[in-house]
Chains A and B, each alone.
Chain A
Amino acid sequence: DAGITQSPRHKVTETGTPVTLRCHQTENHRYMYWYRQDPGHGLRLIHYSYGVKDTDKGEVSDGYSVSRSKTEDFLLTLESATSSQTSVYFCATRTSGGTNEQFFGPGTRLTVL
């Protein structure tokens, strides 16, 4: 929904390596979010962006950084991946209207060995 794509869709990497996940949207939505989903924890907010170059931390931001250089792209970087960051990562977007409805991308399954 909302023309959201994520890349890569699957990735296997090793502990200590840097990883960047990309979220791309074609809806010109102002707000973008990164969540991770783990069994027993549900979806948890990592970081979000409220405009180009404007980002803030969510509830599980340690070990992650983000960047947003243009409206359509929101990047999530794991500077040095750890096994605890093995998860499914979802990007979401919403408009700047009052509904607060978020629409999710297809997800990226990341495995850190």
Chain B
Amino acid sequence: QKEVEQNSGPLSVPEGAIASLNCTYSDRGSQSFFWYRQYSGKSPELIMSIYSNGDKEDGRFTAQLNKASQYVSLLIRDSQPSDSATYLCAVKRSGGGADGLTFGKGTHLIIQP
């Protein structure tokens, strides 16, 4: 069973600080990694994708990937109360005929005003 692990939280961060979310995965063949944001009662919204080792920045968000350590992270700079949500790490399934994403259970992030 290929897994994606996240700390469920809640992770509480003061407004304006950096929020750091972490994810580990077990499938060494995975090549595509994603972060989704999900507000309560809503559907997941894609915020970042990353495919190569290193950092990828998009506005206040930075995704980091280390395939050797099987580790993906998401940094949110200048955290805002509107960033309060559950963040889902997802990994593209690998192997012959496999498709779809394997998700972690999510980290609940609370930004304190």
Contacts and interface: CB of A to CB of B under 8 A. Distances in A.
B59 interface: no
Contacts of B106: 42
Contacts of A31: 99
A31 B104 CA distance: 22
A48 interface: yes
Nearest to A44: B103
Contacts of A90: 43-44
A37 to B, nearest CB: 9
Contacts of B92: 100
A45 B34 CA distance: 16
Contacts of B102: 45, 59
Contacts of B42: 106-107
B45 interface: yes
Counting chain A residues whose Cβ lies within 8 A of the other chain, the interface size class is 20 to 34
B72 to A, nearest CB: 14
Given A90-B44, A100-B32, 12 more contacts: A33-B101, A35-B103, A43-B88, A43-B90, A48-B99, A58-B100, A99-B32, A99-B49, A100-B92, A101-B34, A101-B49, A104-B36
A35 B36 CA distance: 14
Nearest to A4: B43
A59 B104 CA distance: 14
Interface in B73-113: 88, 90, 92-93, 97, 99-106
Contact of A41 (B43, B90, B93, B105): B105
A104 B99 contact: no
A105 B46 CA distance: 12
A45 B100 contact: yes
A23 to B, nearest CB: 12
Which 9 A/B pairs are nearest by Cβ-Cβ distance? A45-B100, A42-B105, A43-B103, A104-B43, A100-B32, A42-B103, A100-B92, A104-B44, A107-B43
A56 B99 contact: yes
A1 B42 CA distance: 12
Nearest to B31: A100
